[in-house]
Amino acid sequence: MRSTVDFEILKKSLVYAAENSPFYIRLFAEYGINVEKVKSIEDFREVPYSDKTDLREVYPLGLQAVPDEEVVRIHSSSGTTGQPVIIPYTREDVENWAEMFARCYELAGLTRTDRVQITPGFGLWTAGIGFQAGCEKLGAMAIPIGPGNTEKQLQMMVDLKTTVLCATSSYALLLAEEVNKRGLKDKIHLKRGIIGSERWGDLMGKRITEELGIELFDIYGLTEMYGPGIGIDCEKHEGIHYWNDYFYFEIIDPDTGEVLPDGETGELVITTLKKAAAPLIRYRTHDLTRIIPHRCSCGRDYPMIDKITGRTDDMVKVKGVNIYPGQIDELMKEIEGLSSEYQIIIYHEEGRDRVLFRVETAPAVDRVRLKEEIQKTFKNRIGIKADCECVKLGELPRSEKKSRRVFDYRYETQKKKEMVL
Ligand code: ZN
């Protein structure tokens, strides 16, 4: 399945944004774009990109493309770095999102008899309510517990016989470890995990799968595009199906902005096709992936992107070499005796950039031998030298949200560096 789109539908969405969104009215005027002259996909590729920085500038409601009486809700992306981005929704937007989410659950094999424990947060952040609305749309039982409170999570999981766990991969791992620690494995009824909001490697997936005895599904989405639920992998796990009746996906070279052919890895750029309250045209997600150029063996018509391999902003350049977390996952798969958890610490010492690769190892391994093997593999696969430190299983921090793995201290004070090293 190629990343094709009916051009008329794409054009309609472009014209809608150009006429109704204050943000796009200004952006297109600035770039001298007359959307009436966009008559082909080639013309469409001349339309400027927008990204989060641009959206922040029109805080709070500069994206709103409908009158106030049509807006039923807003969500906001986390404002950890600067101004948050506010996304308004019409009633139809909310319904479309639930529809997409229900489709995700169906692809993951859920039915009305499932009991779905929802651990992502509720509120301004879009995650929790998306999981819940989709669940209700499907007709399964939602258990909207939200994040944290591991005691309560485990109690609900056992007493209510939860069959589906919705979580970030970090939190799923934390719960899996607790289930094992407390010997609850025979008391839980989990069958599936819907895991989203951060990229996870195969090793981490394998541990969650084995410790909880469940099948994992990788759900994709971002607040600017409704929230999670704009794509998921099916039972074949060959890639993430996305809803091409709601979005047009393009892959670009993050440095040059050039559109890449299907199959090549680059940055995902999304155009919404039906979003009314806050349409987005050629929005840069900063997620690295590729469009899979063939149809999934499940036979469904929805096209696929590959698992997200990282973010353009997670990518760090050390001694002229790009390192991104997806590469580290690949490297760790090759080495026997490693857990899924690691940290990459980059710092400056004696006029040189140095890399420390900290990794958790399985119990009863020869850490000295392993350290040598890791250092050698790191040099071969990544292309630069790293010092390795093997730590005990469970020693690196676990998170209820997203785990931070890359720490770049090159431009920060010595003191801060010492706190981590
Ligand atoms: Zn499929």
pLDDT in tens, 243-265: 999 999 999 998 789 999 999 98
Q: Provide the pLDDT for residue 378.
A: 93
271 & 190 share domain: yes
Answer with the one of 312, 343, 371 that is the final residue of a domain.
312
Residues 138-182 have pLDDT tens digits of: 999 999 999 989 999 999 999 999 999 999 999 999 999 999 999
How many residues in the chain? Answer: 421
Is the pTM value of this prediction over 0.85?
no
Q: Match 């036979």 to its residue by tokens.
A: 299
Q: Provide the pLDDT for residue 201.
A: 79
Question: What is the longest distance spanned by two Cα atoms in the chain?
Answer: 67
Does residue 182 lie in a domain region?
A: yes
Residues 305-357 have pLDDT tens digits of: 999 988 887 778 888 787 877 788 888 888 999 988 999 999 988 888 999 99
237 & 328 share domain: no
296 & 350 share domain: no
300 & 364 share domain: no
Residue 179: CB partners within 8 Å, gap ≥ 6?
154, 157, 185, 188, 211, 212
Q: Provide the pLDDT for residue 81.
A: 59
Residue 138 sits at the vertex; the CA angle it makes with 137 and 139, to the nearest 5 degrees, is 90
253 & 199 share domain: yes
Distance CA 260, CA 193 (A): 33
**Is the pLDDT assigned to residue 204 strictly greater than 60?**
yes
303 & 374 share domain: no
Confidence of residue 415 (pLDDT cuts 50, 70, 90): very low
Does residue 209 lie in a domain region?
A: yes
Does residue 261 lie in a domain region?
A: yes
Between 418 and 153, the more confident residue is 153
Q: How many CA atoms lie within 13 A of 94 on its CB side?
A: 14
CA of 215 to the centre of ligand 1 (A): 15
CA of 281 to the centre of ligand 1 (A): 27
Q: Total domain count for the chain?
A: 2
Distance CA 163, CA 189 (A): 5
Residues 106-132 have pLDDT tens digits of: 999 999 999 999 999 999 987 899 999
393 & 325 share domain: yes
Could you tell me the residue range of the domain that residue 257 belongs to?
Answer: 89-312
Does residue 402 lie in a domain region?
A: yes
Pairing of strands 86-90, 141-143: unpaired
Report the CATH number at residue 280: 3.40.50.12780
Does residue 53 lie in a domain region?
A: no
Pairing of strands 316-318, 321-323: antiparallel
Confidence of residue 410 (pLDDT cuts 50, 70, 90): confident
302 & 323 share domain: no
Does residue 283 lie in a domain region?
A: yes
CA of 290 to the centre of ligand 1 (A): 16
CA of 186 to the centre of ligand 1 (A): 31
139 & 246 share domain: yes
Q: Provide the pLDDT for residue 420.
A: 53
Does residue 42 lie in a domain region?
A: no
Q: Provide the pLDDT for residue 2.
A: 52
Q: Match 């992998």 to its residue by tokens.
A: 233
Confidence of residue 290 (pLDDT cuts 50, 70, 90): very high
Give the CA distances from residue 124 to residues 76, 88, 142, in Å, rounded to whole numbers and listed in that order: 5, 11, 19
**Is the pLDDT assigned to residue 385 strictly greater than 70?**
yes
**Is the pLDDT assigned to residue 136 strictly greater than 50?**
yes
**Is the pLDDT assigned to residue 221 strictly greater than 70?**
yes
Instruction: State percent of the chain over pLDDT 70.
Output: 95
CA of 328 to the centre of ligand 1 (A): 27
194 & 303 share domain: yes
Q: What are phi and psi of 319, to 5 degrees?
A: 50, 45
H/E stretch holding 89 reads strand 86-90
Residues 51-71 have pLDDT tens digits of: 998 999 999 999 999 999 999
CA of 236 to the centre of ligand 1 (A): 6
Does residue 414 lie in a domain region?
A: yes
Query: Strands of 387-392's sheet, edge to edge?
Result: 387-392, 352-361, 338-349, 406-408
Return mean pLDDT, the chain: 91
Which among 74, 183, 91, 163 is positioned nearest to 125, based on CA atoms?
A: 74
Which among 174, 213, 220 is positioned nearest to 195, based on CA atoms?
A: 220
Contact yes or no for 27/54 (Cβ under 8 A): yes
**Is the pLDDT assigned to residue 28 strictly greater than 90?**
yes
373 & 243 share domain: no
Name the token pair of 16: 């809608």
284 & 341 share domain: no
CA of 192 to the centre of ligand 1 (A): 16
